[in-house]
Amino acid sequence: MQIADTKCGMQFPTSAESCMAYVSELLTHFVGRSLPTEEDRFSLLLKILREGRLGQWREEGNVRIDPASISISGLGSLCENSFVDFAPVCFCDIPETDLDRHTNLYGCFGIAFTKTFLSELGANPVFYVAKGSLATHRQPPLTGALFEQLTTSKPLPPGAFYGDLRAKPVPIPRCKFFDELAGEVLTVLPAPWPPGTPPDASDPYRELQARVKFDLLRHVFAFMKFFDETLPEEDADNYYMEREWRVAGFVRFTVANVARIYVPKGYGSRLLAEIPSVHMRELPI
């Protein structure tokens, strides 16, 4: 059976069950989005394939930081995807016939791997969170009796000090909820060791807290992706449509590990001339 993609004019063999595929058998990373020309992107693709590595060192002065490194920015918002300083390698879980929206944003030079291969390197889908989704309700804080009320000679009405208890609970969206939660996690961490503490001092409770912080950063906060659920599907900031998976750190591979290479129309023969053994697919621009 063949189905035609009316957007890009391609036909792909499929089964009746996969005609409504929501996800792909492969995870794809598109390269060179920030580069000015297709030739630049093609050169970058060849460089990556020859080196067998996806991911970039981050440079801060003379220091090179591995992309697996995760730290707290100290200034950002978890809800605005800026609380955790993290540079993962990102992949999309999108069927080949539905790549148009993604390639319009990220270009047509892509490298795809099987989910099995990437999962063994730690790949995992992000945890999508709708910013405006209702997380909980909270009672407004109690203000207590005012000094003026306590010192007045006029009698106070019954229940004057309990009005706050009757206040309507305030809705808290997930954006605010998780930002507050991230701040609270840092607040409950132990204070620095006091001056004069021996360098070999040990505190199992402190060590447990440090491990919880590290695990929350690496395995939860670093894999959270907040999005505006009110945006239309075609909006570039509607991240939910990207079906993103992340790998913390470099993705090292051989050409044999690559399941498919995507290039724009006209680049297929050039790619095969440089690297004959790859599985290649041309995508119309």
**What is the pLDDT at residue 70?**
82
The token pair that represents 27 in the structure block: 């995870």
pLDDT in tens, the chain (285 residues): 333 343 343 444 444 444 446 889 999 999 999 999 999 999 999 999 999 999 988 777 778 778 778 887 667 899 998 888 888 999 999 999 899 999 999 999 999 999 999 999 999 999 999 999 999 998 877 655 555 555 566 665 555 555 555 678 899 999 999 999 998 888 887 777 888 888 888 888 888 888 888 888 889 999 999 999 999 988 988 999 999 999 999 999 999 999 999 999 999 999 999 999 889 999 876
Residue 175, sorted as left (phi over 0), alpha (psi -120 to 50) or beta, turns out to be alpha
**What is the pLDDT at residue 77?**
92
**What is the pLDDT at residue 54?**
96
